[in-house]
Amino acid sequence: MQRQRNPRPYRASKLGVCISILSSWGPQLDMQQQDLGPQDVPPRQTLGCVVQEPRRQAFGRAVFSAACLLGWGIALYAVLQIGRLDLRAEHGICGPWGCGPPPEALAACHLFWLVLLFPPALVIGARLAPRRVRRLGWALAVAASLGIAAVVVHEAITWLPDASDWQRRYFVQRCLFSVATLVEVPLPQLLLVGITLAALSRGRAALGRMGPHSTAAARAEIRGS
């Protein structure tokens, strides 16, 4: 008869190996737990910072927004004060093409539209996707161009037939004069804002195509050179 092997010694030896491995890991785990202290815990994991940090961020954003709005209003008020200047050029833009308001009044109106439109345009250009910003920019530029073209057609229909042969040589100046004195509709400002938004979207799209790896490679190449 063959003797049956007793599995107990094998099991006992296997259990001893496991116990020795666990005993060797125990001091390492204890040392790692002892090494971790309060200074190793990020501030955001504490209850106070979790509650206070969003409040601080919201308060900082509110203060920044209020400061921007205040500065925007002060800038609008400042550019309107240009109309009160006495440049002693009341008929500075008058000529064969017509006579309009004083130059300081025109400058105040055009600068007012520029200051009114540019900050919101920059905010929109920074927040929206580059494709949408490009579409918005081209839409504004096309709309302003169509408005200027409508002014030219209007002057060609109304002013040009009644003008003398000497005055017809100043038809281009007449069109520029009409666009400049049409302060109710900011056609030049809309054209400038549209072109600016299109340029910003193109720059943002170029930076997005480069990506972080391309930017890092370009920096490394610059440092190596």
Q: Report d(CA 182, CA 139) in Å as an integer.
A: 21
Range of the domain at 140: 53-208
Is residue 97 one of the residues assigned to a domain?
yes
Is residue 202 one of the residues assigned to a domain?
yes
Is residue 213 one of the residues assigned to a domain?
no
**Of the segments 88-102, 122-136, 176-190, which one has the largest average pLDDT value?**
176-190
Is residue 48 one of the residues assigned to a domain?
no
What would the mean pLDDT of 18-32 be, rounded to a whole number? 50
Q: Which of 51-55, 72-76, 115-119, 179-183 has the lowest mean pLDDT?
A: 51-55
Is residue 26 one of the residues assigned to a domain?
no
- Split at pLDDT 50, 70, 90, the class of 216 is low
> Do residues 130 and 197 make contact, with C-beta atoms less than 8 angstroms apart?
no
Is residue 130 one of the residues assigned to a domain?
yes
Q: What angle do CA 7, 11, 16 make, to 5 degrees?
A: 150
What would the mean pLDDT of 19-25 be, rounded to a whole number? 52
> Do residues 190 and 140 make contact, with C-beta atoms less than 8 angstroms apart?
yes
List pLDDT tens digits, range 26-70: 555 454 444 444 444 444 444 444 445 677 788 788 888 899 899
Is residue 219 one of the residues assigned to a domain?
no
Q: Which of 33-37, 86-90, 126-130, 141-145 has the lowest mean pLDDT?
A: 33-37
User: Domain count of the chain?
Assistant: 1
Is residue 58 one of the residues assigned to a domain?
yes
> Do residues 98 and 174 make contact, with C-beta atoms less than 8 angstroms apart?
yes
What is the predicted pLDDT for the residue at 126?
Answer: 86
Q: Report d(CA 91, CA 103) in Å as an integer.
A: 8
